[in-house]
Amino acid sequence: MILGIDIGNTTVEFGIIEEGRVTSYKFSSDRYKTVDDWLVNIDFISRKGINPESILISSVVPQIEEKIELSLLKFFGIKPVIIGKDLQVPIKINYENPQEVGIDRLLNAYAGVKLSKPPLVVIDLGTAITFDIVNENGEYEGGMIFPGMESSIDTLFSKTAKLPKVKLEKPESFIGKNTVNSIQSGIYYGYTSLIDRMVEKINIYHGRDFDVIITGGHGRMISSGLYSQHKLIENLSMLGIWFLAKQL
């Protein structure tokens, strides 16, 4: 049994991984939580009967990473393996400065290579929306970064006096008949159109079709509205952690 922890800007996912099967628990990425606060969360998860052989952490938030690392050591007596520090993601990086590539993006690309045939593009719909390109040799080429869907709604709400903040969900109809539905339609169909068109441009740019993997917190919702052929793999990051753990 592996305990994988994916620390993102919005949520921290604790994944119990057994033979590639993932059971996840998500908590808010609250930078003000203390080591003791995280101990409470870990205690909650431990009641599910977990006894990890090893613990691996993927993180893009160093402040939270340090507190969770201390809480895990305190609770389990196991020093977590920090991906990117203690263990590198085994994928060749063709970025100008490889240090700039987030561990989450490399982990997605690595898992994508394990689960699909390159060339491929992994699209992660989280706080930001990232497109990560893997060439036919299984090497990380680079990609694109867009503001996330929630970020767009937050900006619209904060910058416009009369528009309400709405819940992010698939709208009832394509053409909104009220302000809430109009915003939902703009966000939902705007982003599905963006993804479809970007996949098309990636294929045209390379002169061949790429496999497409959709993942991230909003992956399932967006997946149903895409024209592009794709695989929906919601636990992609956790599966990447699982593949890395097998190297230990």
Domains in the chain: ranges and CATH: 2-86 (3.30.420.40), 98-242 (3.30.420.40)
The sign one gets for the Cα dihedral 17, 221, 217, 99 is positive
- Per-residue pLDDT tens over the stretch 104-124: 999 999 999 999 999 999 999
Q: How many Å apart are CA 130 and CA 58, to the nearest integer?
A: 16
6 belongs to the catalytic site:
no
pLDDT at 165 exceeding the cut of 90: no
For the entire predicted model, the pTM comes to: 0.92
In the set 104, 124, 196, 211, the catalytic residue is: 104
> Tell me, what's the pLDDT at 159?
79
The rounded distance, in Å, linking the Cα atoms of 234 and 111 is: 12
Chain segment 2-33, per-residue pLDDT in tens: 999 999 988 999 999 988 889 999 999 999 99
Q: How far apart are CA 18 and CA 136, in angstroms?
A: 30
Mean pLDDT of 62-88: 94
Q: Which residues touch 248 (CB under 8 Å, ≥6 apart)?
A: 54, 81, 87
- Which residue type, as a one-letter code, is found at position 144? M
